[in-house]
Amino acid sequence: MHAPIKTDALVIGAGPVGLFQVFQLGLQGISCHVVDSLPQIGGQCMELYADKPIYDIPGIPVCTGSELIAQLAQQIQPFGASFHLEQLVTEMERLPDGRLKVSTSSDTVFSVQCVFIAAGVGAFLPRKLAIEGLQAFESQQVFHKLDGRLNLAEQHLLVAGDNDAALETAIQSAQLSEGQPASITLMHRRDRFQASEDNIAALQDLCAQGRVRFVAAQPTACIVSNGRLTGLEVLTAQGLTDTLPVDIVIASLGLSPRLGPLADWGLALERKQLPVQTDTFATHERGIFAVGDINTYPGKKKLIVCGFHEATLAAFGAAALLNPSQKTLLQYTTTSSLLHQRLGLL
Ligand code: FAD
């Protein structure tokens, strides 16, 4: 466990609403840290429709999901928020002094006064192969992407999946200049891929050279010897049972959002959403706000523009909570020298 990071505010979720929350907190003079389970910022905009056009962002007639996120990233730059990516917020508890202790899957611990839950439809986490007993080998022999730290030398590598990431994992593993795996098998339930033509062509080429083996099959059981995963029993597309030798599995099956640990934080949930007050978007727990797709209130619409409004009022709510003796004045970015200072313009 690392020493706790003491900060005013923590934003859980770096989707569009979490990012705009950083901006609104910055205008209020509140510094923050941001955690997301994904390796990049952008939430649904990046994960589900990065190249698709959005037409209902005020003042922007059209932009793609990734363009919106790039603009938000630029907008929050003056506030220097710290991002902690590829980390799942797992625990949240109230400390005796009233602060909140928030912990992540990477053992990062925060001690904060305010938490902004901008968790959208849940944390985007890798889909797992549904085989009994495989979970026990997570992070030891089962991974979800090719990582430079993985030593594949002389290992039997099994890549599961039909997407570009799966094909690229098999292709890159076959092209390693040193530390070549003993064997590379790509497994998917059928011999059709949801991948680019280039990747499919490269895979077919490697299969023709015998450097990668493709198996159309579904895994049915783990084969374990002396506490180590040594193989997978599979049912082939032809209905036969086969055994594949395995030292390392890379399950590249895409991501799916899961509410996950949020359900265990002792917060009242209504149909997996957090009920909030609409003046500050505070939950019933002091210092915990919920903004964006994760919250619910009468008339709630899961739209980015609504999340932006919620983040604005939540930042005012937090300012009042953190500085109870000061009046939280409404100031315009057009004319306020204080806001210009905070925006780094002066
Ligand atoms: P999200 O974008 O879901 O981001 C939440 C983030 O929180 C995720 O990155 C997740 O990994 C992270 N997270 C969750 N739990 C944890 C945890 N415990 N630890 C760490 N990280 C966590 N809206 C519009 O207004 N206009 C549109 O045109 C539009 N088009 C859309 C098209 C599609 C196909 C889809 C699916 C949605 C569309 N939407 C549109 C809806 C819009 O994308 C959402 O309203 C918006 O993304 C909500 O933003 P958010 O920041 O609340 O949540």
Q: Hey, which of 304, 309, 310 would you mutate to test ligand 1's pocket, going by the most ligand atoms within 8 Å of its Cβ?
A: 304
As given in the structure block, the two tokens for residue 229 are: 């995963």
**What is the enclosing helix (H) or strand (E) of 11?**
strand 5-12
User: In whole angstroms, how large is the CA radius of gyration of the chain?
Assistant: 23
Per-residue pLDDT at 265: 86
As given in the structure block, the two tokens for residue 80 are: 């220097």
Per CATH, which fold does 128-253 belong to? FAD/NAD(P)-binding domain (3.50.50)
- Say how many Å lie between the CA of residue 318 and the centre of ligand 1: 22
Start-to-end CA span in the chain (Å) = 40
Ligand 1 proximity of 14 Cβ (cutoff 6 Å): yes
- Say how many Å lie between the CA of residue 340 and the centre of ligand 1: 30
- Say how many Å lie between the CA of residue 118 and the centre of ligand 1: 9
Ligand 1 proximity of 231 Cβ (cutoff 6 Å): no
How many CA atoms, within 13 angstroms, populate the side-chain half-sphere of residue 269? 13
Q: Hey, which of 44, 295, 308, 309 would you mutate to test ligand 1's pocket, going by the most ligand atoms within 8 Å of its Cβ?
A: 44
Contacts of 80 (CB under 8 A, 6+ apart): 31
Per-residue pLDDT at 259: 81
Per CATH, which fold does 5-125+256-342 belong to? FAD/NAD(P)-binding domain (3.50.50)
Could you give the residue ranges of the DSSP H alpha helices within the chain? 16-27, 43-47, 65-76, 164-174, 197-208, 304-322, 337-342
- Say how many Å lie between the CA of residue 50 and the centre of ligand 1: 12
Contact (CB, 8 A) for 228 and 234:
no
CA 335 to centroid of chain Cα atoms: 37
- Chunk the chain into consecutive blocks of 10 residues (it has 346) and report each block's average pLDDT, rounded to whole numbers: 89 98 97 95 94 97 98 97 95 94 95 97 90 94 88 96 96 92 96 95 97 96 97 95 96 87 87 95 96 97 98 97 91 97 95
The rounded distance, in Å, linking the Cα atoms of 97 and 84 is 25
Which residue has its alpha carbon closest to ligand 1 atom 52?
292
The rounded distance, in Å, linking the Cα atoms of 16 and 185 is 38
Per-residue pLDDT at 299: 97
Ligand 1 proximity of 118 Cβ (cutoff 6 Å): yes
Per-residue pLDDT at 231: 97
**16-27 and 65-76 are packed helices; what angle lies between their axes, rounded to 10 degrees?**
20
Question: β-strands 241-245, 123-126: how paired?
Answer: unpaired
Strand, coil or helix: 163: strand
Q: Distances in Å between the alpha carbon of 65 and those of 1, 16, 50, 57, 206? A: 36, 9, 4, 11, 35
Q: Distances in Å between the alpha carbon of 163 and those of 155, 167, 187, 249? A: 23, 6, 11, 16
Say what the alpha-carbon torsion angle 330, 331, 334, 336 is, to the nearest 10 degrees.
170
* Other CB atoms within 10 A of residue 140 CB: 11
Q: Where exactly are the structural domains of the chain?
A: 5-125+256-342, 128-253
3-state SS of 167-191 is: HHHHHHHHCCCCCCCCEEEEEECCC
Which residue has its alpha carbon closest to ligand 1 atom 13?
123
- Say how many Å lie between the CA of residue 19 and the centre of ligand 1: 11
- Say how many Å lie between the CA of residue 144 and the centre of ligand 1: 22
Per-residue pLDDT at 235: 96
Which residue has its alpha carbon closest to ligand 1 atom 40?
303
Which residue has its alpha carbon closest to ligand 1 atom 12?
13
The rounded distance, in Å, linking the Cα atoms of 276 and 261 is 19
